[in-house]
Amino acid sequence: MELNIEIPRKISLAYGAACKGLCRELDLPQTAFDILMFLGNNPAYKTASEIVELRHIKANLISVHVERLVQEGYLIRRPSPTDRRKTELFCTEKALPVIRRGRQLQADFLEKVFADTDQETRRAFASLMRRIEENLDTILEGK
């Protein structure tokens, strides 16, 4: 099976282009916007190290942008109740309209990505992606 290695890069470039106008309007760098969206869309993940691991953004960039988001009132830091060495990040009320608009942007982007595909094809794609993820988990667990 031949896979096009350009697809992940093109998705990233197209998503960045889709975000450009909103980021400019909000006066937020793309990385800061990505951090807010990650925290807003994934409440189970609360630390900078989780953002680094899951979003593959360099730790120094996360640090700089988290500090900016805290200073501008979009995020607050709290000590982790389970690990005193960790600090958890939480979106503030000020971040909620940004996240709401970001979610709409993401929904619109997905509609464009899946343009001219029917619901059956979309469901099949989602099912295939879940199966691939399960298979990857199995590989990573060494089974």
65-85: pLDDT as tens digits: 999 999 999 999 999 999 989
Residue 143's pLDDT is what? 64
In the chain, what is the straight-line distance between the N-terminal and C-terminal CA atoms, in Å? 23
For the residues 17-45, what does the mean pLDDT come to?
A: 97
Instruction: Note the pTM of the prediction, 2 decimals.
Output: 0.89
What are 93-121's pLDDT values in tens digits?
A: 999 999 999 999 999 999 999 999 999 99
Residue given tokens 């282009």 in the structure block: 17
pLDDT of residue 107: 98
* Main-chain phi, psi angles of 117, to 5 degrees: -120, 140
Residue 73: what pLDDT?
98
> Looking at residue 52, what is its pLDDT?
96
Position 2 scores a pLDDT of 74
Q: What would you measure as the largest C-alpha separation in the chain, in angstroms?
A: 50
pLDDT, position 5: 84
Average pLDDT on 2-23 reads 92
User: What is the Cα–Cα distance from 7 to 139, expressed in whole angstroms?
Assistant: 23
Structure tokens at 111: 């509609």
